Amino acid sequence: MVLLVCIIIAGLSIWTLGIVGSRVTGATARAHGEIIHSAGRRVEIRWSAPGGQRIDTVALAVTAPPVGTRTEVAYDPRDSATVLIPRSTELATVDRAASGVAFSGLVAALILVTAGWQVTSRRRLGGRPGRPMQLRRVQVQSGLLTRSWLELDSPPRWIPVHFDPVLVTLPAPTSVQLHGDPQRRALVAADVDGTWLYPSGPVRINEPRGQRIDSPASPDTLRSAIAYGWRRQLQADAGLLTVAPIVGLLWAFLDGGGVLTWACATVLTAALALWWAALRGSDPS
């Protein structure tokens, strides 16, 4: 989902660069002028064009400077309608679009590197010898996130795992095959009758913080456990999405963008929140 959002944002940014960027790159000639009228984010400038004095109206991305301010003027010698000054709307749009391409590319690279590390490190666990151990599955709610843990008694250890429907079928206690060393702060996977439970983090020697919810002695059936699909997962993680519009507003304010900037920042933040929840092992049960 995050990669799809990054592709869409990068595509919109590249499309904007193609439309507005051509106007900016075409403004190769330079002159000097003076602001003779200022209102909000629009100014009128009088400047010395090759054919004589000209007066043009220019839209700015920021509050206009006062009347009488001297400014550099960039213009396209082949298109008399293209006149730019520092902080013009076109320049800000191009800068914002270039930032959109760079930022979405950076986020996509982070996602791919993290996913590659996750896959590589978890696959290595399959080659390690397994050992039968008694443990319990417990849930711990910390803030808006609920995670599943496999709890060992002797010595006390807690293994965070990604959710799988088989978790809700485990009695307490139950015997599973552990692959990895639970005595170290390392990654440990569990094999439950052929179903692998992969870790969402390293083993902890201290009890996880949050509200503990012990699994019942009489677990659910696998048929009822299958109901915990992506819709239930989305409902469980919906609380994390509440911050996305706020981050979008802050981003648009700092960037000086409009509704499109807010929408892109909001959607990207929401996608990252869901990705972070999946990375941490969110439990929808």
> Is residue 72 a contact partner of residue 86, using CB atoms and an 8 Å limit?
yes
pLDDT, block means (10 residues), the chain with 285 residues: 94 91 87 90 89 88 88 87 88 90 95 93 85 88 87 88 86 86 87 89 89 66 60 79 92 84 93 91 83
pTM over 0.85: no
Indicate if 219 and 147 belong to the same structural domain.
Answer: yes
**According to the model, what pLDDT value does residue 102 have?**
94
Indicate if 10 and 79 belong to the same structural domain.
Answer: yes
The CATH number assigned to the domain holding 58 equals 2.40.50
**According to the model, what pLDDT value does residue 10 have?**
94
- Residue written as token pair 């808006």: 144
Indicate if 209 and 140 belong to the same structural domain.
Answer: yes
The alpha-carbon radius of gyration of the chain (Å, integer) is 28
The C-alpha atoms of residue 96 and residue 87 are separated, in whole angstroms, by 12
Among residues 43, 65, 92, the one where a domain terminates is: 92
User: Is 32 a domain residue?
Assistant: yes
User: Is 77 a domain residue?
Assistant: yes
User: Is 40 a domain residue?
Assistant: yes
User: Is 28 a domain residue?
Assistant: yes
Among residues 92, 122, 144, the one where a domain terminates is: 92
Read off the tokens for 227: 């109901």
Among residues 92, 122, 151, the one where a domain terminates is: 92
The C-alpha atoms of residue 162 and residue 283 are separated, in whole angstroms, by 8
The C-alpha atoms of residue 268 and residue 265 are separated, in whole angstroms, by 5
Indicate if 149 and 217 belong to the same structural domain.
Answer: yes
The C-alpha atoms of residue 150 and residue 58 are separated, in whole angstroms, by 64
Please count the structural domains in the chain. Answer: 2
Query: Which range marks the domain in which residue 148 is found?
Result: 132-227
User: Is 192 a domain residue?
Assistant: yes
**According to the model, what pLDDT value does residue 218 have?**
55
**According to the model, what pLDDT value does residue 217 have?**
56
Residue type, 171: P
User: Is 18 a domain residue?
Assistant: yes
User: Is 161 a domain residue?
Assistant: yes
User: Is 206 a domain residue?
Assistant: yes
Pairing of strands 211-214, 174-179: unpaired
**According to the model, what pLDDT value does residue 228 have?**
64
